[in-house]
Amino acid sequence: MKQIFTNFYGFDDVKITREEIFVEDGVIVEEFSRDEADEIIDCQNLALMPSFTDLHVHFRDPGFTYKEDLKTGSLAALKGGVTNVLLMGNTKPTVSSVEIYEDIIKRAVELDLIGIDQVYTITKNFDGKSLDHLETMPHSVKFISDDGHGVDDGEVMYKAMLKARELGVNMTLHEEVAGVSAIDYEVAEDAMTLRDCYYAYKLDMPVHFSHVSTKGAMTAIKYFKDLGAKITCEVTPHHLYFSEKARDEMKVNPPIRKEEDRLFLLEMIKEGYVDAIATDHAPHSKEEKEKGAPGFIGIETSFSTCHEVLVKSGLISLNQLIKIMSTKPSEILGIKKGKLDPGYLADFNLIDLDKSYIYKEEDIRSKSKNSLMIDKKLYGQIQKVYRKGILKYEHN
């Protein structure tokens, strides 16, 4: 299948172009004769950019599919322009066995909506101690994580990093000292982040830090990055959009932080120390949220939210936003996506950057409706999403 995408304003992490894009079998290629094209796609002067990769997502499947499942989560991702996700392992059962992992991957491939990678747990069933299950971990696993929990025991984490290095997998870490978080969650995040930055540096181990939310944690990451540590990090749209004034209304883990923290995260994005925007998309039922369950959905609105806070504000360029929503997270996940160059996947979003819209509950594709953005006016509406050159989403 040969396709030509034409009549657009193209953006990736470095360039702005009006040149046509030529695609063959889902991959961008060098120019070919227009007579060879099976399809010429008129993009109607919209912005065309690489679709996004979200490194931190909960689809609740298996075990909690009343909140979300692989299909509804994938449809929500497409609405948000996301064509690749990394799923966390706090399902029921947890993703600590070959059987559970392979079942998720098999069903994701059969759905053929988005690309889905699944983490394996660091410790078996999040017990904070056992690493034996890693010996039989499938070779296709790219990341291990105990997301929802920090690994409190320093010896266990040290051994886990050694094992991950031996197996050639990365780690994505939820940083929280459990005994401290009930007293001072800021210190709980800062202290474990500092420990694991040091471990990663000393062991020359690639480590990714999840949903960084404090000035202290981000300062540690900056320091060890400058030393040459192989560490990367993500921040969430809600930690960039909200701060302490709204904290009491928003139960999320890690919590909404002080304005000082929010502004520091913004500065670190501007200076290039943040590698990815990840949503921590966390579906819950209405009853669970009323009882205080932490987390919110956000994968459908992440671009609009970040476009407002980061680009419309003048903090960074659209190219820089694409870098941390597509190019760099795709690189971290090992996907050839995020640039409009030959050899990269033809995963594209067509976006009306000037279009404003009200995000309504009835328009949500997720099973859960626990969004922070309901009834807010947002900018930058995603009109179409292509994955490997195939149209997967179109705004009605």
Residues 365, 71: Cα–Cα separation, whole Å? 10
What pLDDT score was predicted for residue 396? 86
Q: What is the dihedral of CA 383, 388, 390, 392, to 10 degrees?
A: -50
Per-residue pLDDT of the chain (396 residues), as tens digits, is 999 999 999 999 999 999 999 999 999 999 999 999 999 999 999 999 999 999 999 999 999 999 999 999 999 999 999 999 999 999 999 999 999 999 999 999 999 999 999 999 999 999 999 999 999 999 999 999 999 999 999 999 999 999 999 999 999 999 999 999 999 999 999 999 999 999 999 999 999 999 999 999 999 999 999 999 999 999 999 999 998 765 555 789 999 999 999 999 999 999 999 999 999 999 999 999 999 999 999 999 999 999 999 999 999 999 999 999 999 999 999 999 999 999 999 999 999 999 999 999 999 999 999 999 999 999 999 999 999 999 999 998
Structure tokens at 23: 């695609």
What pLDDT score was predicted for residue 246? 55
pTM for this prediction? 0.97
What pLDDT score was predicted for residue 250? 79
Q: Could you list the active site residues? A: 280
User: Could you tell me how many residues make up the chain?
Assistant: 396
Residues 285, 385: Cα–Cα separation, whole Å? 28
What pLDDT score was predicted for residue 243? 86
Short-list 192, 191, 197, 194, CA closest to 174? 192
